[in-house]
Amino acid sequence: MPNPMLLRRFFKHLHRLLVSAIIHPPKTFNMSIRKAVITAAAPDQKSLPLQSLVDRNGRDTTALQLIIEEAVSAGAEEICIVICPGTEENFVKASGELAGRLTFIEQDSPRGYGDAILRARDFVGDESFLHLVSDHVYISESEKSCARQIVELAKRENCAVSAVQAQRENMLPYFGTVKGLREANSTDLYRISKIIEKPTPTLAEQELVVAGLRASHYLCLSGMHVLTPLVMELLEEHVARAPAGTNIQLSPALSELANRQQYLALEIAGVRYNVGVKYGLLKSQLALALSGKDRDNILSQLLELVALHPISGTTSPEGDK
């Protein structure tokens, strides 16, 4: 027998979609995705994207180069990086050979993540665009990069798309979290109905449960989106309404976007690593190494480290000094 609560949620969502279709009929967008916007204006992003890494091919690089290459792999020809004032020279150096593709915009009076994206409005113009955050590393488990996966879906469905990963309940304080209905005959595609920034577990249980996920798991944004020009309009409205000094987040604008246009979430075939969390840089580097050509060598070195530093011991092989 169908669950009455799930039926109510389904019909409520269906009603919202019907109303949205009447008030805001579908539009045809330019989904060629020539432009990408990378945000690097948060205080800790002054240095995180500049960190050195070794990529899957054993090449010395930076976290910034990896995220720029991610955008280029998806077809981006022009890339804007929103930065803190006075950091452009460091970002140019960390971009390597890709620096010629870049435009820099300073967030001189920071008002949050959403405000940083809004600074690129003139750069984006009336085009849909790819958006990435600068302190994440993406490792695809497909022949296509993670960014290309969402760009191809956005082109095919002619709508905004966000990459998501299922996360445990204890990770909710770190992410915008998505509610949506899984698309028919799909295991990784969802039609978004709501997004809440960093919800509490109680709020998530009440508002953001997604049928088909494991218990206590939720769909969380992965810092990678294809967005339509409407997002810039919504962010501008939020900035205009917010009291002075209020931080503007992206998630409320995305949630409103879901009520105005078709908006999909894709569980990408890949994994996102956040360089900015504790041990994040180390974890990102290990993930790159273990998915690359030096995997066997790295595994051998890790086993040697474990042998030298057993969990039960506290002294080195040479003893206390």
pLDDT band at 44 (very low <50, low <70, confident <90, very high): confident
Q: By mean pLDDT, which of 150-164, 171-185, 306-320 is the weakest?
A: 306-320
What's the pLDDT at 56?
A: 95
Both tokens of residue 8?
A: 């109510």
Asked if residue 91 has pLDDT above 80, the reply is: yes
Give pLDDT, residue 31. 81
**Rounded Cα gap, residues 251 and 256, in angstroms:** 9
Task: Tell which residue, 135, 90, 119, has the closest CA to residue 250.
Answer: 119
Whole-angstrom distance, CA of residue 144 vs CA of residue 290: 18
Nearest to 115 by CA among 252, 250, 258: 250
pLDDT, one tens digit per residue, over 186-231 is: 999 999 999 999 999 999 999 999 999 999 999 999 999 999 999 9
Q: Is residue 135 over pLDDT 80?
A: yes
How much is the pLDDT for 175? 92
Q: Single out the residue of 135, 159, 133, 158 nearest to residue 147, CA to CA.
A: 133
What six digits make up the tokens of 170?
């204890």
Query: 25 pLDDT exceeds 80?
Result: no
Task: State yes or no: pLDDT of 167 exceeds 90.
Answer: yes
Residue 321 has pLDDT above 50, yes or no: no
What ranges make up the beta strands (E) of the chain? 35-40, 52-54, 60-62, 78-83, 102-106, 129-133, 136-140, 160-168, 176-182, 189-197, 217-227, 263-267, 270-274
| Widest Cα–Cα separation across the chain | 76
Check residue 320 and give its pLDDT: 39
| pLDDT at position 109 | 86
* Among 189, 51, 34, 63, residue whose Cα is nearest residue 124: 34
Beta bridge mates, 52: 62
For 48-90, the pLDDT digits (tens) are 999 999 999 999 999 999 999 999 999 999 999 999 999 999 9
d(CA 129, CA 124): 7
pLDDT above 90: percentage of residues in the chain:
78
Tokens of 88: 């452009």
Q: How far, in Å, CA of 33 to CA of 320, rounded? A: 59
pLDDT at 319 over 50: no
Mean pLDDT on 292-308: 91
Q: Which residue has the higher pLDDT, 313 or 62?
A: 62
> Domains plus CATH for the chain?
29-295 (3.90.550.10)
